[in-house]
Amino acid sequence: MNDRKTEIKQLIIDKLNIPDVKPDDIDNSAPLFSKENILGLDSIDSLEIIVALQTEYNVRIDDQNLAREILESIDTIDGFLSKETSN
């Protein structure tokens, strides 16, 4: 598995204090905010995830519509970080 994807999952688990979930439990391509997702995230969680990503990876996510696209899944977060951190 991609190490950064595991890091992203662990960051979300840690920052949101989600008990009993391990990075391997989270599907990389599953929508993060669907009812079926093991994390049970809501809109407040999205703000916390954005702040955590900005802090951890030194990126900016200022556009709300872009943030929705980025936070679609672990794969989309990783894709955004790959693009932003390679510049």
Tens-place pLDDT, residues 47-63: 999 999 999 999 999 99
Residues whose CB is less than 8 angstroms from the CB of residue 59 and which lie 6 or more positions away in sequence, other chains included:
53, 80, 81, 84, 85
Residue 76 domain-assigned (yes or no): yes
Inter-helix orientation angle 43-57/74-85, to 10°: 30
CA dist 36 and 32 (Å) reads 9
Instruction: Provide the residue-wise pLDDT of the chain in tens; the chain has 87 residues.
Output: 579 999 999 999 999 999 999 999 999 999 999 988 888 899 899 999 999 999 999 999 999 899 999 999 999 999 999 999 876
CA dist 86 and 46 (Å) reads 24
pTM across the whole model: 0.92
Residue 48 domain-assigned (yes or no): yes
CA dist 8 and 59 (Å) reads 14
Residue 26 domain-assigned (yes or no): no
Residue 41 domain-assigned (yes or no): yes
Residue 25 domain-assigned (yes or no): no
Range of the domain at 49: 3-19+37-85
Domains: count for the chain: 1
